[in-house]
Structure formats: C-alpha cells, structure tokens
Amino acid sequence: MAGKKTTKMPLTPDDWIKAGFRALSARGPQAIKVEAIAKTLKVSKGSFYWHFKDVAALKAAMLHHWLQVATHDIIADVSDDGLGPKEQLRRLIDIATGERSEPYGGALAESAIRDWARYDENAAATLKTVDTARRHFLKMLFEKSGIPPAQCVSYANILYAALIGLEQLSPAGVLERKNDLSALLTLLLRNVER
C-alpha cells in the first residue's frame, strides 16, 4: 500500500508577513531576506514572488499589517466590547500582554519594530502613526474614566511608556508585565475610583 500524499496549502501573503516579523524579532531587520524566510517556511523563493515584487514590498506590507492588526484592529475590538472606559483600559492590558503577538515573534516583535524604525524611515513613519493612535486612544479612555483633562495626556504617556519599557525588561515574563501594568493602571485610576 502506497503512502498517502499530503498536499501542502499554498502560503498567503499573511504567512510571509508573519514569517518576516519572526525573522525581524529573532535577528533584526537585516534578517528580512527572501531566501532565509523561504527556508524557514520550507518553500521555494518562487512562493514569495507570487505575492510580493521584492523585499521592499514585503517590508511595506509588514508595516501596513502591523498598523492595522496591532493598532486599528485592537482599538476596534476594545471599543466594540461594550465595556466601560476603565474596563476597556484593563482589556487593553490583557491584549497587550496576551498571545496575539505569538505568530509574529512574541513579545520581542514590538521592540524589534522600534529598533527597525531607528534605521528605516518607512518604519519610523509607521511607528510614529502607531504611537500617536495608541496614545490618543489611551487619552480618550482616561478622559472617559473621569481623569481631569489636564492629566489625561500624561496618564496615557505613562501607561504606554510602561508597556514599552516592560517589553524591553521582561520579554519572557508575560504574567509579570500584565501584573505590573495592571498595578500601574490601578494607581492611575485610584482617585477616580474613590
């Protein structure tokens, strides 16, 4: 009896984008190379060129994908949950410290993108857009939570900076990041909750 032949599903652009992020997270922007990524995906380079013109097109798609999935989609998810603003802030912490980033290289993905932005103007422009959108959303949630308007920008910056800093300090300690961010949020909201 002959062995059953298994048919491998063709890769999608998202498969290449996720593999690009895993390469970026593991080895930096210089690792975003067609041959190396194709090898990790166990496919030929031809599969890449079916979806992308060149590496620059992959990098542009990665940045667009990150903006959409890691910012706009999360904001939409949190906004559509029907939660109050304080619960939305807590939900954001759950998402930010959750497993959504695992297919992209895990907790190291965000810091790898920040490092990439130091050397690439397209990555820097996307990072600026992402940071602005995220901080604006946090500011709005703090305003809706009853924080005095003069403090909302500072609170948004403090919480966001803590997330970025904790990702740098403890890439393997997800539970620790979640606990630390939750404790910080409790401190920031304490005057409102009285």
What DSSP assignment string belongs to 1-55? Answer: -PPPPPPPPPPPHHHHHHHHHHHHHHH-GGG--HHHHHHHHTS-HHHHHHH-SSH
Q: What amino acid is encoded at 168 in this protein? A: Q
Average pLDDT of the chain?
90
Report whether 105 contacts 26 (CB < 8 A).
Answer: yes
Q: Which of 187, 144, 145, 140 is nearest to 162 (CA)?
A: 187
CATH architecture, domain 13-189 = Orthogonal Bundle (1.10)
Q: What is the pLDDT of residues 115-173, one digit of tens each?
A: 999 999 999 999 999 999 999 999 999 999 999 998 999 999 999 999 998 888 765 55
Report whether 85 contacts 5 (CB < 8 A).
Answer: no
Lowest mean pLDDT, pick from 27-41, 65-79, 96-110, 118-132 = 96-110
Averaged pLDDT, 52-72: 97
What's the CA gap between 3 and 12, in Å, rounded? 27
Averaged pLDDT, 105-114: 90
Q: What is the pLDDT of residues 69-95, one digit of tens each?
A: 999 999 999 998 789 999 999 999 999
Lowest mean pLDDT, pick from 90-94, 100-104, 185-189 = 100-104
What's the CA gap between 157 and 160, in Å, rounded? 5
- The answer to whether the pTM exceeds 0.85 is yes
Cα angle at 190 between 187 and 194, to 5 degrees?
Answer: 165
Report whether 170 contacts 78 (CB < 8 A).
Answer: no
Q: Which helix (H) or strand (E) holds 97?
A: none
Q: Is the pLDDT of residue 175 over 70?
A: no
What's the CA gap between 114 and 46, in Å, rounded? 30
pLDDT band at 193 (very low <50, low <70, confident <90, very high): low
What's the CA gap between 118 and 137, in Å, rounded? 24
Report whether 116 contacts 98 (CB < 8 A).
Answer: no
The pLDDT value given to residue 170: 62
What's the CA gap between 166 and 97, in Å, rounded? 10
Strand, helix or coil at 93?
helix
Q: What amino acid is encoded at 136 in this protein? A: H
